[in-house]
Amino acid sequence: MFASLSDRLSATFSSLRGKGRLSEADISATVAEIRRALLDADVAVPAVRAFTAAVRERAASAEVSSSLNPAQQIVKIVHEQLIEILGGASRELNLAKRPPTVIMLAGLQGAGKTTLAGKLGSWLKEQGHAPLLVASDLQRPNAVNQLEVVGRQAGVSVWAPERGNGVGDPVQVARSGVEHAREKLYDVVVVDTAGRLGVDAEMMQQAADIRDAVSPDEILFVLDAMIGQDAVTTAQAFADGVGFTGVVLSKLDGDARGGAALSVRTVTGAPVLFASTGEKLRDFERFHPDRMASRILDMGDVLTLIEQAEKAFDEDQAADLANKMAGDGDFTLQDFLQQMQQLKKLGPMKKMLEMLPGMGQMREQLENFDESEVTRIEAMVQSMTPAERSNPKIINGSRRSRIARGSGTTVTEINGLLERFEQAKTMMRSMAASGGRGMPGMPGAGGMPGMGGLPGGGKKSRGKMAPPPKRKKGKSGNPAKRAQQERELAQRAAQKENAGQSASGSAFGVGAAKDEPVDPASLDLPPGFEKFLGR
């Protein structure tokens, strides 16, 4: 979503590199570019004014004028101001001292409240809570049925005494849901309410009545991140009509310019608590202003990536694979397949790669990333027998043809996979030996297929594996030729050994023993060099 803003800011900062000091004109030009970038991203004008004023004031201060690297200092200032405009420090949910904690969802029609109720319920369950979803949206057709479906998918209970479709009292449903949660010892209640328009006084009053009936500990305003500056007007209308304590950004994976995320905190004062980044239940995360600011400035979000990896990867399997990569045992194609399957639990590979620092410079390659290539690799490995996965060296020509037919690929692609697998093993072991750390669960990430600039990627090669690099000629399979090769190797080794013995005792290859006297005349030195020789 923030791709355009990120590119504009990166271009602005690149123009400052190489300057020893920043003049007032440089600062004015930089602030003007930042202002244009924010306005193009559909950020609300009040938020843009507050942001650029703070950047200008700090950029003109002594902290930049005395800095040895003013360009980096400007980036630091913009990063800190982005964190501030996004809400500063992350805030936890306000939990009731005496359960159940009541969380009420409110928002416009089509903002994604019902799906988000299921995501929030799933997240609360992962945190060790016992949530209950209450279906108080009796206005929209099949809203109750949809909440029951997402509740089953999330493994969360749903309270739905009324079938809805315009029939029933949503206030009474919300009240009875809280009572049911108290009786059955649910510690969190999530009340899904009907969507409404900012100008719909009747529906706004209904939301206020539900608020008064259940006295929620949190009122979360679900805001569609794709609606641009209109989000400010909508948020203000809800703040005046119902009030809310926090914001949840939905559809943050869209291709809009992201102005809502940068505007809502400045205009309403309410912090952003959560973000919905996709259609699946797992595409839901806590909103951290510092991490989002880092994403906007192409600094990556490694902390979120690590948290997701910790959820997806099995600790015992990860430890076993790490030992194998370090040389304790043999890392096989079966292990590689297990890692591929665990990586798929993280979600789309493109989304995961976007969290790495500096990936904004590879935006075109990321756009061309072919997710289906990962599935093709999985099919190739699954088409092998257990013996072939354990020992890829036995995969001869006929076996490669069989694997290609079984996986719907070509022999060339099988060759490329085996070649990259050997390269990945070598790279991982060298990294382990040097104490380096790679991406968890990503052996051979540099050879990940389906990405432009990497083997198997780009528009021209989409859907095809890159041909394996040429390798040095190995030992022949012909017994006679193999014996001849071994004799030649033995002869070369003997010649090297004799040459080393003849040069013993001299770093320059002079064939004299260590303790034997050296005749200066025999060294053929230039006239006058005899005086530098030890006596």
pLDDT tens for 408-458 read 999 999 999 898 888 877 777 776 666 544 444 443 344 444 443 333 344
**What would the two tokens of residue 352 be?**
């995961």
Q: What is the pLDDT of residue 369?
A: 67
**φ, ψ of residue 220 in degrees (nearest 5):** -100, 125
Q: pTM here?
A: 0.61
Q: What is the pLDDT of residue 505?
A: 41
Q: Give CA–CA dist 263/269, Å, rounded.
A: 10
**What would the two tokens of residue 348 be?**
């789309």
pLDDT digits (tens, 9 = 90+) for 219-260: 998 888 777 666 677 777 788 888 889 888 888 776 555 676
Q: Which has the closest alpha carbon to 291: 306, 311, 310?
A: 306
Strand-pairing partners, residue 105, are 192, 220
Which distant-in-sequence residues (6+ apart) come within 8 Å of 439 by Cβ?
A: 356, 445
Torsion of CA 171, 172, 175, 180, to 10 degrees: -140
**φ, ψ of residue 224 in degrees (nearest 5):** -70, 115
Q: How far is CA 91 from the centre of its chain?
A: 22
Q: What is the pLDDT of residue 358?
A: 63
Q: Which has the closest alpha carbon to 85: 36, 39, 48?
A: 48
**What would the two tokens of residue 535 be?**
């006596």
CB atoms within 10 A of CB 453: 11
Q: What is the pLDDT of residue 167?
A: 84
What residues of the chain score a pLDDT lower than 70?
A: 1-4, 18, 20, 62-68, 197-199, 228-231, 254-258, 260-261, 298-329, 346-370, 431-482, 493-535
Sheet strands side by side (includes 272-276)? 157-159, 131-135, 188-192, 101-107, 218-224, 246-250, 272-276, 284-286
Q: What is the pLDDT of residue 405?
A: 92
Which distant-in-sequence residues (6+ apart) come within 8 Å of 293 by Cβ?
A: 79, 82, 83, 86
Residues annotated in the binding site, as ranges? 107-114, 192-196, 250-253
Residues annotated in the binding site for GTP, as ranges? 107-114, 192-196, 250-253
Q: Which has the closest alpha carbon to 266: 107, 83, 109?
A: 83
**φ, ψ of residue 5 in degrees (nearest 5):** -65, -40
CB atoms within 10 A of CB 353: 20
Structural domains in the chain, sorted by start: 3-86 (1.20.120.140), 101-299 (3.40.50.300), 307-447 (1.10.260.30)
Q: Give CA–CA dist 110/112, Å, rounded.
A: 5
Burial of 38 (0-12, 13-18, 19+ CB in 10 A): buried
Contact 194, 138 (CB under 8 A): yes
Q: Give CA–CA dist 512/523, Å, rounded.
A: 11
Q: Give CA–CA dist 180/198, Å, rounded.
A: 31
List, in sequence order, the alpha helices (H) in 259-383: 259-268, 289-296, 302-312, 315-325, 333-345, 349-353, 363-367, 372-382
Q: What is the pLDDT of residue 105?
A: 92
Q: Give CA–CA dist 449/453, Å, rounded.
A: 10
